[in-house]
Every structure is written in C-alpha cells, then in structure tokens.
C-alpha cells in the first residue's frame, strides 16, 4: 500500500499518527506482499468506519488515537506473519553477568532522598473471573479482610508516613475495571496517599478468518473489544497525560508490578541501584523453580538483554527453554522504569515489542451458530527491555514474587506462614526453606468453593507439598506437615475432621479419617 493511500485512509485528526508512524509505514512497504497489503487496506477502512461512529469530539480524538495505535500493531503483525518472524535460536545465550545483577551485590545503603522521584504503578486491568469473582481482581479479599488494593494502599501510606514523602499511587485500569475501581478508591479519600488512574487502550478483536475487526461500531458489545496486554502501558501512560503530570511534579522513576503480586513492595536498595547505575529500565528476576518453567526469562541476544517468552520458542527447543540449568531466572514483572526514557521512546516511535497473538472464541450472536474464532494482538511490558539504555535484570529473593493467580495461591497467603505488617506479608522466620507447593484441584477453582470447603486455613508452617483433588472438606484446626496428598474418588467425598494432623500421608478413595 502506498504512502499516499495510507494518508487517504487515515481518519480525520490522524496527523499525530502520521508524524509518529510515517517512517515505519514506508520502511515496511518493501516487506509486504499483495495479501498483507490488501488486509492492511481493508483493516484501515474498517477502522475509519469505527471512528466515524463516534460523535463526541473529545471521545472521537481519543478513539482515533487508539485505533491508529492498533493499526500500527496490526500492520506489524501482518509483516511478521509474511516474513515468518521467528527468533533465531542459535543467537540466544544465557544472560551475561553484567545483564543480571545479584540482589546481595546491590548497595547496602538505603537512601530515601530518591523516594521523592518515585511513583508506584499497579496493573489493574484484570477481572477476577478465573477465580469465580465479579469485578476487578484487585478487590478480592486476600488477607485479614483486606484486598490486593487495600494492602498496596497500606504499604504506600506507611512509606509516605515513615519517610515524610508523597509517593503517588497510579493504577492502570482497563475498560473492564475502570468504573468499579473509581467507586472503590473513594474510600481512600482523606488518606495519606495520592491516587491517580488511567485506562489502557481498548482494541478491537480481529476475526481470524477475515482479518477484520469484530465490532461494527465504537459502542459494540464488550465482547468485541479487549485490553491489549500490559505492554500497552507505555502508550497509554503517555496518551492519558499522566506521564507528563508525574514529570511535572518531579517524579522520574516508576515501579510497576501486577496488582496480584503481594511481594512487589518498594525496595530502597533497588531504587538506589537504579539511580547509581543510570539504568533506564530494571527487570526483577527470581530463580526459576520447576513451578516456573513456563515463565518468561532474560536472555542475551547478540549482546543485548531481551525477554524470551515460551510462545516465541520453536517447538523443538521448548524443553531447553524450560531447563533450569540454561535459563536460571524468570521475569516477576516487577519493572522499574525511567519516565523521561519512556517519554522519549514513545515520542520517537521506538517501541517494537514482540506481538503475542492470543487466539480465543466468542459466543455466536444467535443460538445454533458456531462460536467465532478471533485473535487478540497483545504485548508484554517485559519485552520493552531492549529499547532502554543500560537496561538489565536484578536477581531478587523469592519473597518479591508472591502472586495470587489461583485459590492454591490464596491458601498460601492466608496461612500461618505469613504475618501482615504495614500491608506487607512477612514469612515466618521459623520456616525452613521456600514456601510449600500447593495444588488444589478443580473443586477449589472458585473462591466461593474454596471458602466453603476450607472454611479455616490449615496450619502449614512445616508443609512441603500439598495436593488435594476431588470433593474434599477440611475441618477447623487442621495441620499439614511434609508431603500430604488427598485424592477423593469420583462420586465420593473426603472429610478431614477438625484438629487432624496429617504428616507425610496419602489419603484416597472415600476414606474419612476418624482418628487423629
């Protein structure tokens, strides 16, 4: 497609897009074959029609910017498909020593002067649907009647109060979580914390067969749209105006993490290290265990630190990728970024993060019709590491990675293994070794089922491994030690009586323990 055609197809108000994307458009023309050029042209026309369906001027400008950014992503996706873009495995090597710094080698002083230059950003776009909850995942109760959001607010309030600073708390919401979050954060008004929010982009799902957008208008049903992954944080932070607001108040560094990672607290040593080394980007990594083999890892790619996700790995090398020997670390998604660098990279249109095509199906409009296959084009914030100067990883202790993705994780953080201090979970010093591995079966997938079957969290201070499958009910005051496996046969139930102490035991079938 010629540059003249691209200009003609561009929606009104797209001058900023042309300024930031024109060079990229021309440089990619040579790679496009006829089919990708036609697909790009059809998508641009469809996006123009979506933009025309917006009547409010302010909303129209924001929507056009989002559609322009989506089109750039879609175009890159087409080009990658045409070129068969795949990472060359022979060029991949484990990270060099200077690309991953050990946490214990960081400066021991904890200078607080840089806290005035810091903001904390939580990725708050996810819903709690995978755990059977309605609304933002960050409002699920995780500990002592408090949600993820409550714990984060408490941590920052303590930081501000202790050091006499005013670290802003920033939430990146999605169109799924924005209105609920706005109502929830009202309860923090009057607290010692400044909360700012912005929305990540809303992109149209792409029909797999036609490569056209699923929505027919800007206000089409929610299922036609998706938030495009946390790699969108750079563009959305910039487009929302929050980036400039933070810079205006003297904030230069953002500490970003997932809302559900209870281990992601502000660390003054890492902050000091970032300033000392003039790093524009730091990724927190932790040692890989057998439970983390699918997690993204840092690699050296021809002298440059990059993130490698399992989706990028050729099938014949997947086992090598999962090896703990070759790739020792995985990405916690705790990221420290220099805001001026973010601004520079976005304005210069330097971001070209690897695209993750996420295939899904959405229910058909009418009964009896087949579900519709769609593709979501997503990016990950960790993939941006290669665009920043002096970017590197810090190998942090496991305590900084404490995510709650499932009810198995929920059981762990609710247990006697941790105590709560100023919003932070602290592992019991009597615990020997890392946290136990807990695997709860599908009967515990939803929070409501988990709570009804385990009304009282068992004591697990001396537990190494727990597996529970099938309909199992735990009484109050149960203690697990060593390795405990409880498997209920199909159609049967296992009840563990109150006060039971199970140590290195397998319980299976329909057995009901009568003695303890």
Mean pLDDT calculated for residue range 182-191: 90
Mean pLDDT calculated for residue range 4-18: 40
How high is the pLDDT of residue 370? Answer: 80
Question: Residue 18: which pLDDT band, with cuts at 50, 70 and 90?
Answer: very low
Distance CA(78)–CA(73), nearest Å, equals 9
Beta partners for residue 136, in sequence order: 127
Whether residue 26 has pLDDT greater than 60 = no
Catalytic annotation, residues: 405
Closest alpha carbon to 257 in 161, 144, 171:
171
Whether residue 7 has pLDDT greater than 80 = no
Per-residue pLDDT of 298-319, as tens digits, reads 999 888 899 988 888 888 888 8
Q: How buried is 366 (Cβ within 10 angstroms: 0-12 exposed, 13-18 middle, 19+ buried)? A: exposed
Whether residue 220 has pLDDT greater than 90 = no
Mean pLDDT calculated for residue range 226-231: 93
Whether residue 351 has pLDDT greater than 70 = yes
Mean pLDDT calculated for residue range 373-398: 94
Is residue 229 annotated as involved in ligand binding?
yes
Is residue 137 annotated as involved in ligand binding?
yes
Please, what are the domains in the chain?
90-364+371-400 (3.90.550.10), 407-509 (2.160.10.10)
Whether residue 293 has pLDDT greater than 90 = no
Per-residue pLDDT of 61-92, as tens digits, reads 999 999 999 999 999 999 887 776 567 888 88
Closest alpha carbon to 235 in 203, 273, 195:
203
Q: Is 390 left (phi over 0), alpha (psi -120 to 50) or beta?
A: left
Question: Residue 354: which pLDDT band, with cuts at 50, 70 and 90?
Answer: confident
Whether residue 504 has pLDDT greater than 80 = yes
Instruction: Name the strand (E) or helix (H) holding 254.
Output: strand 253-258
Is residue 405 annotated as involved in ligand binding?
yes
How high is the pLDDT of residue 486? Answer: 96
Strands (DSSP E) along 396-498, which ranges? 418-421, 424-427, 437-440, 459-469, 472-474, 479-488, 494-496
Per-residue pLDDT of 424-465, as tens digits, reads 999 999 998 889 999 999 999 999 999 999 999 999 999 999
Closest alpha carbon to 333 in 285, 386, 287:
285
Closest alpha carbon to 504 in 483, 488, 480:
483
How high is the pLDDT of residue 318? Answer: 87
Is residue 326 annotated as involved in ligand binding?
no
């Amino acid at each position: 497609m010629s540059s003249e055609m691209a200009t003609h197809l561009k929606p009104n108000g797209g001058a900023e897009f042309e300024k930031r994307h024109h060079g990229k458009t021309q440089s990619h023309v040579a790679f496009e074959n006829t089919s990708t050029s036609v697909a790009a042209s059809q998508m641009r026309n469809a996006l123009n029609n979506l933009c025309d369906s917006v009547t409010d001027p302010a909303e129209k400008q924001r929507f056009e910017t989002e559609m322009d950014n989506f089109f750039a992503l879609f175009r890159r996706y087409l080009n990658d498909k045409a070129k068969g873009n795949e990472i060359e495995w022979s060029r991949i090597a484990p990270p060099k020593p200077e690309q991953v710094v050990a946490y214990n080698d960081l400066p021991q002083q904890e200078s607080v002067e840089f806290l005035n230059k810091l903001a904390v950003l939580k990725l708050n776009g996810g819903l709690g649907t995978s755990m059977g909850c309605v609304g933002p995942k960050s409002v699920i109760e995780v500990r002592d009647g408090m949600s993820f959001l409550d714990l984060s607010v408490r941590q920052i309030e303590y930081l501000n109060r202790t050091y006499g600073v005013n670290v802003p708390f920033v939430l990146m919401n999605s169109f799924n979580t924005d209105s609920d979050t706005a109502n929830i954060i009202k309860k923090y008004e009057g607290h010692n914390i400044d909360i700012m929010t912005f929305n990540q982009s809303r992109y149209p799902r792409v029909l797999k067969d036609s490569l056209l957008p699923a929505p027919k208008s800007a206000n089409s049903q929610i299922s036609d749209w998706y938030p495009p992954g946390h790699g969108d944080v750079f563009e959305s932070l910039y487009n929302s105006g929050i980036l400039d607001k933070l810079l205006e108040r003297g904030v230069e560094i953002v500490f970003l993490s997932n809302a559900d990672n209870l281990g992601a607290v502000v660390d003054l040593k890492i902050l000091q290290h970032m300033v000392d080394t003039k790093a524009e980007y730091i990724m927190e990594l932790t040692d890989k265990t057998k439970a983390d083999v699918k997690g993204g890892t840092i690699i050296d790619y021809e002298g440059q630190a990059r993130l490698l996700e399992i989706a990028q790995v050729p099938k014949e090398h997947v086992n090598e990728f999962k090896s703990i020997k070759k790739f020792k670390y995985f990405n916690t998604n705790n990221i420290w970024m220099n805001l001026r660098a973010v601004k520079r990279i976005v304005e210069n249109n330097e971001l070209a993060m690897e695209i993750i095509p996420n295939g899904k199906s959405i229910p058909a409009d009418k009964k009896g019709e087949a579900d519709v296959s769609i593709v979501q084009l997503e990016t990950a914030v960790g993939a941006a590491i290669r665009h920043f100067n002096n970017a590197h990883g810090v190998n942090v202790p496991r305590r900084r990675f404490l995510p709650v993705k499932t009810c198995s994780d929920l059981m762990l953080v609710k247990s006697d293994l941790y105590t709560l201090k100023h919003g932070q979970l602290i592992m019991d010093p009597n615990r020997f070794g890392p946290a136990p591995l807990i695997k709860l079966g599908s009967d515990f997938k939803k929070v409501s089922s988990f709570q009804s079957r385990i009304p009282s969290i068992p004591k697990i201070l001396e537990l190494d491994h727990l597996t529970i499958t099938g309909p199992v009910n735990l009484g109050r005051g149960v203690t697990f030690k060593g390795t405990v496996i409880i498997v209920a046969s199909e159609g049967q139930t296992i009840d563990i009586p109150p006060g039971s102490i199970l140590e290195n035991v397998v319980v299976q079938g329909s057995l009901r323990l009568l003695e303890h």
